[in-house]
Each structure stands twice: as structure tokens, then as C-alpha cells.
Structure 1
């Protein structure tokens, strides 16, 4: 057993759940064998606590590092801040620079910005502002928007309401029951479902991801925009995951549908904690009507990292690079599947693409992929969050390593062998299914 697994066993005795993030739990990847902790990283390489080097062809910091780990331009800006001080009684000028940059990127509709340090809290801020602006309480949602009470309250009914919609089996323990029916879920591309909610509820906001696993059809986004405008509902696009992956800014730009507010996180700091709520000036000014304030939202590293990240993204046109890599990944995964007669399904925009084995044994096959790729020096899953450090040479090596694994899965599928006899530990746990 490696040092990472030993430390994780210790962590579970003190940290409920073992880690702060579900997606980083070793059980989500390779139970009993995942390295769990890192000692250093660079580009798309990660070293574990035993000094073993891996190429990260999985989730790249859970989607945060599109410029790769330890990007020199971003880190140089941050190190200068560290030397000169991160927190004082006065404010940092970088937050003004970042606000100006984000408003410029979201013209013509944007007029105000508020910052926080995590995607979930930025989503909660957007809901607070929308409620303050409209004087209404209820919210319709489509997508994943974090862990806060306003969102998890969807599960306060008699049934597991998010099961089949979004997050299966989440217990809303600790969420006040008075929030029941304050947040109402609808399915992506199901406009009539949203219309039914709007017709029977006085909504403050419609909050949704622009796109994740499927493209909008039947003019869906334009219909939502028109409905929100006609009914005086604030339209919020959650771009925490989708932002700066297909465009230099929000994914909404691809479809030409402007929101009233947009939430950005993950990519804009390239691994440093920063998130932003951008909105029209009229709506954002409603933040003054309520109480939204936190000491560490004023620290200097986050906005400094974001300013440097945006400059580097624009210089290299990172969104174009990672999208092209993602398109190629989908083609090469499918080519391997076709080569060995395996049925797979694809989901996600190219830069955060997933594939799924269309088989009752899909979780066992996923575990086998993770296990065997780890042995070959890859942090791999049935997905790849692309970054600019994923060079053609690295990707060629990744597919060369994946080829015989797909060949063996064909053998499993056709009864030539039992996959369970080839696993070194338990099957990985499922994450959660997303609404769209």
C-alpha cells in the first residue's frame, strides 16, 4: 500500500467523508489503490507521495487547470503577491482590474460584478441578489449548482426529488424544511416543463447551465430567454464549469443568448480560488439591499491569478486548443470502441467530454480502465478534462495504453473472461447523474 492510501485511511478517521470534495474521494476512482494525494505537479503531470510520476488524462484539478498545472505566467503573478502581501486592512487593486475585465468580456449586458472564492457560494450569491432584486423567493433550476440550502432544498419533499433529475440519494439533512418547494427542478430542452413551473409559481430566477451533456434543440435557450423577459424573471447562467472552454468567456456566447447574470469559477484562476457573479448593473446593484460580505473574498491571490489567467488564455487562445483536443478525444474513443466492437456513449462539451460503456458491467469496466491505466502511469478515467499541456505525443501514448484495455473489455463483454477476476479491489463508486 502506498503512502497516499495510508494517509487517506488516517484522514477518514478525522475528516468526515475523507476529503472536502466528492469527486476527489479515492472510492470514486480506484478504491484501495488510488494514489489519493500529490506532492507536486507541472503541466499535466502529477507526482504522488511515493514520488511516482503520472500523466493526468482525467479531470485536471476537477476542471480548474485548462492552462495546465503550475502555469509559469499565472504562478509568477501569484508569487509576486505572496512576496508583497496577500491581506491587509486595505483592498487589493486587482479586484477592480478583474471586475473591469469581466464586464468588458460580457458586453453589452454586464454592468456589475461581485467576487467570492468558490463556485457553490457564487451560485448562492446570485440567488440572493436575484431574490433581493425581484422581491420574490422561488427559483427554477436546471443543472448542478452546488451544495447550499437553497439548492438541496429540492429534496425536502416526500420523494428523492433530485433522483432522475440530478443527484441521486442526497439526504437534505440540515436543510430547513421551510425551504420545501422554494426551488423547483426542470429538465434541459423541456421547455413545456419549465413553462408549467412558471405558470404556477411566482419566480425570482431561472437558473441553469447553458449546456453540459447535450446541445439545445428547438430554440430552447431563446425560448427560456423570452419567457424570463416576459415574466420579469432573472435569468442566471451557471458557467462555473462551461466558462472559457469553448469561447473566451461564457458558453452562452456560442448560442447568442445573453443572461441577466452569469456565474464563473473553476477555469478563471487556473487552480487558484476565485469565482465571480456578473450581471446587469440594475440587478447587481440589488446586492446593496441585502447582506453579502466575507473577509477572505478580499484576499489578493484569487483576483491576481484570474487576471493573469485571462491574459494567458487570450495569448494562447486556450479555449480553441482544448476544444480541438476534446473533439479528437471523442473520435479516438469511438474509433477504439469500433475496433473492438464495444458500445460506448458520449456526453459533454468537447473540453470536458465523457464516455460510458453501454453495458450492465459499465462500472466494473470503468474501474478496470482506471486500474490498468494507473499501472501504465496515467491518471485516467472515462473522461478527459483537456488542457493545453495535453500534447499530441502525450495523447498518442494515452491511446496506445488504452488500446489493449479496450481489447480486454471486448473479451469481458463476450464471455471470454470475468472482469471481476481482473480487478485488484472493489468497483468504483458512482458519482452523480446530472440533469442536463
Structure 2
């Protein structure tokens, strides 16, 4: 089943003229999809989205993991409708801010105070600033995990480091996940200099080994270092109370976002009172400029957050995601096994946060083969750079995806047999979102999104 992308391609070209990269988030860019097959979306409901050409898809990834209850989820939308009539932004706090803070701290028992913002990066960068102020130190130890912030202190450590002072990057040190000795070495080499240790307690592909998080907590305590958990993905996907609840280790500060508002823009920094108050009015210490944003307390997103909390209290969206994700992974992996290519394509990870691997005929991870798989899924009405699921995905959605994947894998088999995607893949392979140069998906000015340079 071939989809018509003409209107999407026209709009994407105009986006490239007006928006650097053609999208406001690099992970949403056209270079993350097969050439000429990057749908521009018009609307969504549940786990289905429709593009401007009228094509429909079962969607995965769900707003970069920010939507767990489904698009246009009515209880959240209704709460927003009610709040809209009251106005959005004022010159003083509202009672809604207090109620939202109470809701949040009712979930995150290890935190005493919270401040809301709009982006996850706001929260993680505020945590770094707070830790440095509290300790009087500058070095930050970060775990070797994919992403923490768009701000200089982290992006300077990636391939897209243009415009970032090396002096900023020089304050960052890395340690390895599940390798307590690598963190202990950092503390030894930089004794009395590390302000904060930052990590995700778990990821889609990595659970903490026995004693690892406890060991990190102990090292931070011994060295007077602030422990920061990034709960952007784990919050409301591992547990409504985050990974810290799942694994029983309490950080000093935690950073939240994504699924907090089921797609509405809201993030949070939470933590111990003695740290958080450094940004308040009950301290005699030099004050920290801590998340003072115009739109942080905007009432619509706070109303959405409160509605999400209510749903999680009364229903079991995480259990639903776990069950549906398990069925999806089993179905696709069985299809791959039946074709004899389970070593080349597999669905792996936590059931609520699945990804798929794509390897070439020699068994190496391959962007070209990944793009072929994406292309064939798109042609069959499945949109997703991953198989990150939501509670809105029905059994029918999962079965449609398994069937689409089985057909896509048949095409994949042909490429493996030929040792190449040539003749099967239309256009260029996708490329990493965070890369130094636009090549290999650079566009010629004034030419279509399929133009190679």
C-alpha cells in the first residue's frame, strides 16, 4: 500500500525555507525519515495520526514519549477546556499552582518542593546550577546516556558543539552506567570538586544492576555531592512516581517532563527543601536564579498535569503499556524468527519503551537497513522511529503493527539476501539527529527534500 506524500513534501519544503532544519526539534526532522516520506501531520486521536495528504498511521514514539494516554485524551482535554475560560497567565500565582504542587509532591515522596517550567532542559540545567551553588564546586559527572539538555553544559559534549565554549565542556566528566568503579574513579581523580552526579536511573535498554544506584547514592553522600535523577522518560512511564519509586533510591533533585502533561508543555524540578530553598526567600545564602520563567505556571498545562495525575490514580496506564508492549515485541520478534532474521531485526527494551534494532547482512547496525524498515512500515500505515507505545494503543493497533512489520520484514529479507538495500530503498538513509554536519542528508538550497548534495 503506497501512500501519497505530495502535500507533505510541499509543506516540508516550505518549512525548510522558514525553519532551520525544517522542524522545531531535531528528532522530528525529515532527515530522520526516508526521503520524500516524512509526513506532515494534521491531527491525532488515541494512537492514530493523520497527515495532510489524508493518510492515517498507527503512531509510535507518541510525541517523543510525551503522550502516554493517547492523543486528544478526553479527560485531559476537558480539564483544559474548563481552565481556558479562566485565563492562562497572570501577574501573581494562582491556587492552581498550589494544587498542582501538592499533586506532584504527593507522587514524589522523596521531594519536599517543586518548581514548574516548560522544557525538560530548563529543569536539568536548573538542577546543575543549584548543585553548583550548594556545593561551591563546578565539575559535573554525567552518565554515558544519550541526552540531558539542549543547554551548553551538555550539548557541548555532543557532535553538535558549534558555538559552545570549550571552557563550559571542560567542566563535564563522564562515567559508565552500571559501572560504579568508573564513578568512584572520578571522585578519586577530582576529590572535592564534583558538584553533581546526573543520570537516568534506568533506560529502555538498561536496568540498574543490584547495588548500583545504592552505590551511587552512597558515593554522593560520602563526597558531599548532589545526586540528580533525570526522570524525563521514566516518570509516568516506569511509574507515576518515577524510577526512584521503582528502585527505592531517592535522589537529592529530580527532573521531570514529557508525559507529565500528556503532550501539554510542562516540566518540573523537585528536590530536598534545603537545596530548593536556595532559590527562595527563606535563605540567608546568595540566592540561586531558579526557574523564573514567564510560562512556567501557565494554567492550561497545570490543569492538564492534574488531570493526568487523576487518571494515573484511578486507572493503570502503565500496566496497559506494559501488556501491549509485550504483545507487540512478541509478535514482531516471532515474525522475524519465522523468516530467519531474528539476529538482524529485533524489538527490545522495556515493554513501555520499546525500540527496534536493524542490522545489515554482516550483522552490523545499519542506518540504510533501518531506513528500509521505516519505509516499509510507513507504506503500511505505521509511523514511528521506535515502538514506544501508549495506553491508547488497542489490540487492533498492535495487530496491525505486527502484520505491517511482518510484511516489511519480507522486504528486509530481500535486502539481506542481496547484501544491499539498492533497488529497495528509495532515496538516502536516515542519519543521526545529533551530527556535526548536515551531510549525508544535506539539502541544496531551493531544491526538494530529496535533493542530494
Q: TM-score, normalised by structure 1?
A: 0.90
1:111-190 paired onto structure 2 within 5 Å: 111-142=112-143, 143=145, 144-153=147-156, 155=157, 167=158, 169-170=159-160, 172-190=161-179
Q: Once the 2 structures are TM-superposed, how far is the Cα of residue 52 of structure 1 from its aligned partner?
A: 2.2
Whether the aligned pair in 1 keeps the contact of 2:332 and 2:347 (CA below 8 Å) is no
Unpaired segments of 5 or more residues in structure 1?
156-166
Whether the aligned pair in 2 keeps the contact of 1:47 and 1:53 (CA below 8 Å) is yes
Matched, 1:198 2:160: no
Whether the aligned pair in 2 keeps the contact of 1:245 and 1:323 (CA below 8 Å) is no
1:354-433 paired onto structure 2 within 5 Å: 354-359=355-360, 360=364, 362-381=366-385, 383-415=386-418, 418-431=420-433
| Aligned mates of 2:15, 2:53 — CA distance in 1 | 17
> What SS does structure 1 have at the residue aligned with 2:387?
strand
> What SS does structure 2 have at the residue aligned with 1:384?
coil
Partner of 1:281: 273
| Aligned mates of 1:400, 1:347 — CA distance in 2 | 18
1:234-249 paired onto structure 2 within 5 Å: 234-249=226-241
Residue 82 (structure 1) aligned to one of 59, 84, 92: 84
Whether the aligned pair in 2 keeps the contact of 1:65 and 1:267 (CA below 8 Å) is yes
Partner of 1:160: none
Q: Once the 2 structures are TM-superposed, how far is the Cα of residue 432 of structure 1 from its aligned partner?
A: 5.5
Matched, 1:91 2:80: no
* Farther-moved stretch of structure 1 (352-361 vs 293-302): 352-361
Whether the aligned pair in 2 keeps the contact of 1:139 and 1:203 (CA below 8 Å) is yes
Whether the aligned pair in 2 keeps the contact of 1:138 and 1:204 (CA below 8 Å) is yes
| Aligned mates of 2:357, 2:411 — CA distance in 1 | 16
Whether the aligned pair in 2 keeps the contact of 1:137 and 1:182 (CA below 8 Å) is yes
> What SS does structure 1 have at the residue aligned with 2:18?
coil
Partner of 2:12: 8
| Aligned mates of 1:278, 1:62 — CA distance in 2 | 22
| Aligned mates of 1:414, 1:313 — CA distance in 2 | 47
> What SS does structure 2 have at the residue aligned with 1:290?
coil
Partner of 2:70: 68
| Aligned mates of 1:194, 1:240 — CA distance in 2 | 22
Q: Once the 2 structures are TM-superposed, how far is the Cα of residue 361 of structure 1 from its aligned partner?
A: 6.7
Matched, 1:39 2:39: no
Judged with a 3 Å threshold, the aligned counterparts in structure 2 of structure 1 residues 197 and 365 are, in CA distance, closer, same or farther, namely: same
Q: Once the 2 structures are TM-superposed, how far is the Cα of residue 357 of structure 1 from its aligned partner?
A: 2.0
| Aligned mates of 1:45, 1:345 — CA distance in 2 | 23
Whether the aligned pair in 1 keeps the contact of 2:328 and 2:402 (CA below 8 Å) is no
Partner of 2:30: 26
> What SS does structure 2 have at the residue aligned with 1:413?
helix
Q: TM-score, normalised by structure 2?
A: 0.87
Partner of 1:220: 212
Partner of 1:267: 259
Q: Once the 2 structures are TM-superposed, how far is the Cα of residue 271 of structure 1 from its aligned partner?
A: 0.4
* Farther-moved stretch of structure 1 (144-153 vs 206-215): 144-153
**Cα-Cα RMSD:** 1.8
Partner of 1:159: none
Deviations 1:100-146 (A, max 9, x none): 12212121x21110111011111111111111222221110112201
| Aligned mates of 1:347, 1:226 — CA distance in 2 | 31
* Farther-moved stretch of structure 1 (4-13 vs 422-431): 422-431
| Aligned mates of 2:88, 2:64 — CA distance in 1 | 25
> What SS does structure 1 have at the residue aligned with 2:318?
helix
